[in-house]
Amino acid sequence: MAGRLDGKVAFITGASQGIGETTARLFAREGARVVLAARRRAESEKVVAEIESAGGTAIFVPCDVSEPDSVEQAFAQADRAWGRLDVLFNNAGGSSPDDGPLTKTSLDTFWKTLRLDLFGTWLCSRAAIPLMQKSGGGSIVNSASIMGEMGVPNRDAYTAAKGGIIALTRSMAVEFASDGIRVNVVIPGAVTTERVLEFFDREPHLKKQFDAYLLGMAEPIDVAQAVLFLASDESRRTTGQKLPVDSGILIS
């Protein structure tokens, strides 16, 4: 039975753990040759080995999405390995415990947050698009957050970064449609990754927001399945769109 990504090369940032790792494993099962881009070598190489032992194809490339030279080298390495690029999942990102109201958050925290989340997405897309143009098109899936769609206190820098990703998605979708490149964005709510669970352990008062998750908190595979749809040809007429994986919190 053919996989939904047979013949495609997919580049996934932040692939050493959480949603990125889960998506890498899913993509490999669906026939993609997967590039796991991350800073954590040992964890990433372990995932690569497990993908290959299960019959998939994957490589690890070291990549810090906030550093232009690192991004350029990572995509060049992927291009040398397989000579094409069909899918980019801009998954790397995260919020800082030092984030807060803009009147109190340090300038350093603000710029670090934007550099990781928004600038990282911009940089990786900038490197990926020429490879996709050479390959005849492709699909870019960005990762935002419900915080880019709703007001959430004490996360002003993160909200700005994720809102910027949503706006950038629309702009890129219009800009590169003529190249056959689609650009969409997934919008997760809280997902039961190790990082998120640790955050709620530090901030237990925020757990009351769980009541707004009509279907319960999402798991990494829930987001990965949405990304798979947007990466595959099943969504070939979908671009510039937002796909929430939020258990209904945005409507509750």
What's the CA gap between 183 and 177, in Å, rounded? Answer: 8
For 111-159, give the DSSP string. Answer: HHHHIIIIIHHHHHHHHHHHHHHHHT-EEEEEE--GGGTS--TT-HHHH
CA dihedral sign, ordered 32, 226, 129, 108: negative
Coil vs helix vs strand at 3: coil
Residue type (1 letter), 224: A
What is the C-alpha R_g of the chain? 17
Residue (of 182, 241, 176, 250) closest to 215 by Cα position: 250
Q: Are 63 and 116 in contact (CB under 8 A)?
A: no
Q: Is 158 a catalytic residue?
A: yes
What's the CA gap between 67 and 65, in Å, rounded? Answer: 6
First and final CA of the chain: distance in angstroms?
40
43's tokens: 């964890």
Which is the catalytic residue, given 158, 176, 190, 246? 158
Question: What residues are labeled active site?
Answer: 158
